[in-house]
Amino acid sequence: MNRLKRMLGLLMLALVCSSLQAERLTISMDKNWEFCLKDLPADSVFIVQQGWRQLDLPHDWSIEGKYDKDHPSGRGGGYLPTGIAWYRKEFLLPAACEGRRVFIEFDGVMANSEVYINGKLLGKRPNGYVSFSYDMSEHLRYGENNQLSVRVDNSIQPASRWYTGSGINRHVRMSIKSPVYLPQWGVFVRSSKVSSERAELDVQIDVRNDGTERADVQIVSVLRDASGKEVRRSNSNLKALGVGDSGRVDQTLTVNRPRLWSPEDPALYTLEVSLYKGNELLDTEIVTTGIRSIRFDPAQGFFLNEKNVKMYGVCLHSDGGAMGTAVPLSLWEYRLEKLRDLGVNAIRLAHNPVAPEFLDLCDRMGFLVMNESFDTWQAAKNHAEKGYNLFFKDWWYADTRDQVLRDRNHPSVVIFSVGNEIRDNLNNPEGFAKYKNQHDCVHKYDGSRPVTMALFRPNSSGVYQNGFAEMMDVVGQNYRVEELVAYHEAHPEKAVIGTENIHDIASWLVLRDKPYMSGQFLWTGIDYLGEAFWPNVMYTISLLDITAEPKPQGLQRKSWWSSEPMVAMVRKSDNNGAGHWVSDWTPIDLDTYDQAEIEVYSNCEEVEILLNGVSQGRKTMDKNAAPAAYRLTFRPGECKVLGYNQGKKVAETSYHTAGDPDKIVLTTSKQVLNNDWDEVAVVRATVVDEKGIPCVTANHLIRFEVQGAGRLVATGNANPQNHEMYVVPEKTAYQGTCIAIVRAGSDQGKITIKAEAEGIRGEAQLELSAAAAKVNSLVRPETELQALEQTPLQTLQTSQTPSQTSVQTSSQTGSPNSRQQAKFEKTLLRGDEDGVGILAYGAGDFGFFMPETAGYFKLGLMSEDKSLWLSDARKANIYPTSKGWIMEFQDPFPGTNALRFELRPLQHSNGFVVELKTSQLPGNLSLVWTYGGCSGSKDPAERELFLRPEQCPNNVFSRENNTFTVYYGLSTSLRVMMGVAPMDTETRIGNARSMDNPLMLWNSGKKTDTPVMVARNPLRANSTYYYCIYRQNRKSDYNAFMLPALFQESDKNLQP
């Protein structure tokens, strides 16, 4: 392992452990693992040095392999390799963390995982889809090196009917908590008595005491809306919680005029639950939730917020095509957007728990979710799986419990399913008990949602006759929709739902026309890997192909499920109605293709085809959802389909006959990529003719190259018989197209994607932009903590006492000899327990203080060859207001008319936000500002109001484009300040000894033992800019786009 990285890791963790004191600290553990694709004895994992490679998580090793029809995974596993592998990671945990509880949290490991810390087995988990955690506290070496290793065994095959992937294919975190804490998934928020006027949230909060003495604690819950505004709060006390005991508190929050969650308006709230012992904050849990009501009515179907809603659903497996089962969230967002465009509003998770962030995405996008647990209980299926059926008896309760606990706060989840097409005997007491036990387990941990299962051939299995179905809250059946209709006619008291359905008209008409039919879930929404017979490697009866392009049945479904007027045409690929359906006007053989059999899909009243401008007749759409059928003599050129409502054209789609392949066109799903594992761009390469018409018959081998601030992750196409590897830079076009998946590799810069192929003119090129990862205040990324290059490690161990002198000012801040005595103004926030002091001296400079928090903010102007600190401006005026204070400058710089700064304290955080308004300005003028000199003074009245270089060595900075973080103080009492500036800001490290003027500071360089943050942003005339500095905390995660609103809402009065 790299010694320097381990040292940095220890330093970073020490910073945060001490800065948050007893509060929870959660760190991403995704970075810097080593991987070995072979089995090893557990005690030799950190001894053996051969065969390891470094990588980041999530990771699916199966998708990196080659297809082979003889792989043991077989058709279910998509003929990809599996096996046994080890992952290992070393990390240093500061001694300051001793006495706290330290947990390692896995969102999922595929499969049969064993987790070790320092050689000690923490536990095993057979189910590769379930999230789990272990308490490592008793086995850690505090202040020393720790060794974390994971054995993954996916060698027992075939283990599944579809592709599962292999490895630690989801995120990993380490959570460090107080001995008295809120346990994982221990906060449950349930909506009750919901209306548009009023709603109640019933909150259940668990508390655990793993300390050494009984504890009296207080629980404070604060509900906030999407803007961060406090909506309601509640306080509760838990007395004398014994050592080793858990306690529970129930609260009720009333919300007036709530914004109800729905697919049309997926409004979300956050509940922040804080645990206190006296005035000491022990732990905080932040839960995202939505306010909504659900009801399954036996006669009228599903109701959301008392509005009847049909679930237009699809089933989805967990793979992301070329990414395997380690799927970036932005790729799922891209796919779900494509499904939503077809009218889909519901997802059935087939047939297992998903990554938790997938449900976060469904919450934000407004999808209704059927959350399913198992594909098998104890009986295997037709593929003779050696998978979860081997473990169900011993593990079903823990897996069901953990899935429900983890997912019960998601407003998108409206129903649980405990099984899919279960083959166990359901005609005896044991079969009844298996379902009933799972049903009761779900309701034990979440009584707010109904439970179902996907019945398979119920008339054959007898579950419609033996009373089994009557145990279910909602009766679900796969396929054979007429059987479900007949069951409801015999049992009108039961609510029903189609848990899995084919893409036919008859099933759709039942959903459309039967009021009691709550919804249907098509098999499937997107093509997926596995469940195919060689040479096919993927299942293909879906709305979207595996690259997320709509298929003919997807276009038809859109005509039934979408409310936006649409029209689309498909034709049989071969002459006289032979072949398969395609949506284009370019036959494979133009010479022999003669008679085109066509279907037109539309939700309009009438449709018409124009062939090269000549009408082929207008037809009325069938009320029973059948397409409009045409049979035309093929003519090259344009085939245009039109849709009409009340005689007016409301939709139009054109198809053209392509010529010879001429060039490649690149398009992208995202133009800006944040430097984050979960963010990728889907770059599509399409072969087109000289007019830009897609050549759907092209099958060129396209070579991709990524340059600059990005990297190529994978390539793919929609060909179910393509056996090319995914982690290669080239892919054969299928139906004229293929994709490359690209990820940012740095925090800024251009990403250039190039594509070329033999026989194609020139080289296609596309440019994207890389940007810094979005800051997650709940899970601290390791990369944020590693930006310490400008300060020696040992400086954080030094102590420094601020000078005790009178308040002084100087036009030469970096020149102590020129200081003069000056008067300063002092303002404090009312109502804050700590208080925020802002001590101003002279316009353009001010000190910023809270107890044990300090820093200096200095403003200046700079052109290409001139600069000026605003504290040297001749015409300056500074005065307090009821909301903050104002600095005004007249003619501070040649060609500059006036500048006006207004500073206000933040409402929800300890910090301030500055608004700058400009008027007349010269060209090439920038605002320059610097921040630094932070130390731990408790008495702001005794601090100097200028920046001294000797106050700077104890500051450590990290920078990400327009934001920065400064760490300072001792390792046992570290403080963290954060800053945000306009998006076009450039930041760097400057030398505090070189501050005679802004130009000198800007060019002073970062190789210094007295660092300060220095930044500049270009100014434009008659414009407004915002800047913010605040103390790091769990409540606040600000960006440049939020600053105007933060400025406006900061209405707390200041007292002089």
Which amino acid type is present at position 51? G
Active-site entry in 333, 500, 606, 679? 500
The 3-class secondary structure across 492-534, one letter per residue, is CCCEEEEEEECCCHHHHHHHHHCCCEEEEEECCCECEECCCCC
The count of other CB atoms within 10 Å of the CB of residue 212 is 9
CA distance 319 to 525: 12
Half-sphere exposure of residue 159: CA atoms within 13 angstroms, side-chain side: 24
CA 416 to chain centre: 23
The count of other CB atoms within 10 Å of the CB of residue 876 is 17
**45 conformational bin, left if phi > 0, alpha if psi -120 to 50, beta if neither:** alpha
Residues 6+ positions from 805 with CB-CB distance below 8 Å: 944
Which amino acid type is present at position 232? R
Active-site entry in 23, 34, 285, 421? 421
Which amino acid type is present at position 161? R
Please say whether the dihedral angle defined by the alpha carbons of residues 866, 870, 871 and 874, taken in this order, is positive or negative: positive
Q: What percent of the chain is helix, strand and coil (3-state, nearest 5)? A: 15, 40, 45
Is 784 one of the catalytic residues? no
- Reported as type and span, the H/E element at residue 976 is strand 975-980
Residue identified by tokens 């990524």 is 706
Phi and psi (nearest 5°) for 390?
-75, -20
Residue 183, SS3 per DSSP: coil
Helix orientation angle between 429-445 and 392-407, rounded to the nearest 10 degrees = 30
C-beta of residue 406 within 8 angstroms of C-beta of residue 351: no
Residues 6+ positions from 417 with CB-CB distance below 8 Å: 348, 370, 371, 372, 373, 451, 452, 453, 454, 476, 499
Residues 6+ positions from 324 with CB-CB distance below 8 Å: 60, 62, 63, 64, 163, 165, 169, 529, 726
Is 500 one of the catalytic residues? yes
Residue identified by tokens 């799986």 is 385
Strand pairing class (474-478; 495-501): parallel
CA 661 to chain centre: 39
CA distance 738 to 718: 7
**Residue spans of beta strands (DSSP E) within 789-824:** 808-809, 820-821
The 3-class secondary structure across 551-566, one letter per residue, is CHHHHHHHHHHCCCCC
The candidate with the shortest Cα–Cα distance to 369, out of 387, 384, 353, is 353
CA 623 to chain centre: 42
User: Long-range contacts for 279-282 (Cβ within 8 Å, ≥24 apart)?
Assistant: 280/22, 281/22, 281/23, 282/22, 282/23, 282/178, 282/180, 282/181, 282/217
Residues annotated as catalytic (active site), given as ranges:
421, 500
